[in-house]
Amino acid sequence: MNTDQAIRELPKAELHIHLLGSIRPRTLLHILEEESIESPLRNDDEYDRLFQYRDFAHFISVYGQVIDNIPQEKYFEQIAYEMLEDCAKSNTRYVEFSFSAPDHVKRGLDYGNMLDHINRGVRKAKSDHGIESNIRIDLVRNYGLDSARETLSWIKEKSENVISIDIGGSEHTFPPEPYAEIYREAKEMGLHLVAHAGEAAGPESVWGAIEALKVERVGHAVSAAQDLRLLERIKRDRIGIEACPVSNVRTGAVQSLQEHPIREFYDMGLLVTVNSDDPTFFHTDLDNEYLQLHEHLGFTLSDLLRLSLNAVDASFLLDSTKERLRSSFKETGEKIIDSAR
């Protein structure tokens, strides 16, 4: 077995993947046609051209264009199912995916109806592919505190498979600290706490997420590498880092894979994981993420298995389920590594 095949066969878990950022191009084109939506996206070439980002702000703008093209709740069943089916192709066995509900409610869709359709897709993917998943609701920091409070109220009313909250969006404009009270309330509701931080802003954003929001995991955390004291705090408190290397290169958060701090995070013994973020938008998946780490940052197969085990450890699964999954990953992974020697 060669290294590429071994990487494909390694068991994996994904903790940072956005539902809409996983939509298959053909599915979006089908929706546009079915709904008679006027759009410059008429074929795959135009789709690819749209996803050539100048910077993080441009990426956010493109993301908004895609949101505008999902006009009915029913489409989320197919989007969720296909996202998980694609994850399963990378031998991903567990997924925590992010759903930015406010984006769609503000465009006239119903939260509860969308969640029902998403969970239909989740159940079908589990039945067809054996893949387990849970949902993270992104409060979307751009809409402000009132919107975030309203989103929490939706979760109180309907929360099937919803396991955590997050704040994505324009991090450099909307710092984490004002959301402290909302995060306290979410914790009281039994939700786990995550925040995008250190992707488009400096280490102060990561500090804010840790100290004000009391997060258990940080999405991206690229700029944390600039602050050794911050890294020591992350290590001490076993705060998970959801690294997204290919995404960070594509949005300009780092200039190249060789400059990505995931190697430093890993070598320091941080609870770092690797994730695909928006697979469609960044032309990636977990197989590719692992392969890039191997080729550009010297991650061995044993290192990559450790990243998979980190993802299990950092997940929000019950301890008993983690133990079972971890044991399975370790046994399978070690056999694959032995076969590749």
**231: CATH:** 3.20.20.140
CA dist list (Å): 255 to 204, 222, 260: 21, 12, 8
The domain in which residue 125 lies consists of 3-340
pLDDT in tens, 212-233: 999 999 999 999 999 999 999 9
- Run of H or E including 341: none
**Residue whose pair of structure tokens reads 């609870």 in the numeric block:** 271
Structurally, the chain folds into a number of domains equal to 1
Which pair of structure tokens corresponds to residue 237? 């408190």
**What residues contact residue 11 under an 8 Å CB cut-off, 6+ apart?**
91, 93, 308, 328, 329, 332, 333
Residue 133 · residue 99 · CB < 8 Å: no
Q: If pLDDT is split at 50, 70 and 90, which confidence band does 310 have?
A: very high
Residue 299 · residue 289 · CB < 8 Å: no
Q: Edge-to-edge strand order for the sheet containing 240-243?
A: 12-18, 92-99, 132-138, 162-166, 192-197, 217-220, 240-243, 272-274
Report the alpha-carbon distance of residue 42 to residue 45 in Å, rounded: 8
Q: If pLDDT is split at 50, 70 and 90, which confidence band does 154 have?
A: very high
Instruction: Give me the mean pLDDT over the 144-157 stretch.
Output: 98
Is residue 199 part of the annotated active site? The answer reads yes
Check residue 193 and give its pLDDT. Answer: 98
Question: How many whole angstroms from its chain centre is CA 138?
Answer: 11
Instruction: Give me the mean pLDDT over the 6-23 stretch.
Output: 96
% of the chain beyond a pLDDT of 70: 92
Which residue stretches of the chain are H helix?
Answer: 3-9, 25-34, 44-50, 56-67, 75-89, 101-105, 111-129, 144-157, 180-188, 203-211, 228-236, 245-250, 262-267, 279-282, 286-297, 301-314, 319-340
Per DSSP, what are the bridge partners of residue 12? 92
Catalytic residue among 132, 199, 242, 289: 199
Calculate ∠ Cα 102-54-90, nearest 5°.
Answer: 65
Report the alpha-carbon distance of residue 87 to residue 93 in Å, rounded: 8
Among the ranges given (11-15, 67-71, 172-176, 301-305), the one the predictor scored with the smallest mean pLDDT: 67-71
Instruction: Give me the mean pLDDT over the 146-164 stretch.
Output: 98
